[in-house]
Amino acid sequence: MIQRPVFLIGFMGSGKTTWGKKLANALELPFVDLDHEIVDCIGMSIPEYFAQHGEEKFREIEREVLQKQHGKASIISTGGGTPCYFDNMEWLLNNGTVLYLKHSPKSLWNRLSQSDVNKRPALKGFTGEELLQFIESKLEERSPFYDKAHILVDQINTPLEDLVSLVK
């Protein structure tokens, strides 16, 4: 019986929202997308907020919105940077089960190359080889946080039933 949140963490494009929805459905729990909660709170899109107020302010809002998720039995997809600022990773570990969807830089590159990079200001508009280099260095910087997760899933094709039994 799940009594606390299950937090999905991982780099942009790792499938946190897609898997979060599937897990929530399978476990009959509410699904929360932290980015959507932030958008509701700031009243504009994340790229607009970055442009108007900067990343530092965004991280403060992100922390506040994250901490509101305390104590709810739910599946929560976080933003790619969420675990890597302030003491957010410790907070996540202390307040729920943390599942890291791990991918290689190449896999992330393939996935992100098919998405609109402008929707993710943290990608700074990079495309092609520059995007791959950016992913490699950002992932290296963020991995020490991600790697602290309680559960690590590094098989892209992990069946849903396996994920369900991992978090149960």
Sequence ranges of the binding site = 13-18, 35, 59, 80, 120, 142
Indicate whether 79 belongs to the interface with ligand S3P (CB under 6 A).
yes
CB of 103 to ligand S3P, least distance (A): 12
CA–CA distance, 70 with 55 (Å, rounded to integer): 24
Nearer to ligand S3P, 47 or 168 (CB): 47
CA distance 1 to 12: 29
| Beta-strand runs (E) in the chain | 6-9, 31-33, 75-77, 97-101, 151-153
Q: Does 91 bind ligand S3P (CB under 6 A)?
A: no
Residue 35 lies near ligand S3P (rule: CB under 6 A): yes
Supply the minimum distance, in Å, between the C-beta of residue 123 and ligand S3P.
8
What's the min distance (Å) between Cβ of 1 and ligand S3P? 28
Q: What are phi and psi of 77, to 5 degrees?
A: -90, 130
Binding flag, residue 121, ligand S3P (CB under 6 A): yes
Q: How many CB atoms lie within 10 A of CB 68?
A: 12
Upper half-sphere CA count for residue 59 (Cβ side, 13 Å):
13
Binding status of residue 15 toward ligand S3P by CB under 6 A: no
- How many helices (H) does the chain have, and how many strands (E)? 8, 5
Rule CB under 6 A: say whether 120 interacts with ligand S3P.
Answer: yes
Which residues are part of a known binding site for substrate? 35, 59, 80, 142
Question: Residue type at 119?
Answer: K
Query: For ligand S3P, which residue of 6, 9, 12, 29 counts as binding (CB under 6 A)?
Result: 12
Residue numbers of the site for ligand S3P (CB under 6 A)? 12, 16, 35, 46, 79-81, 120-122
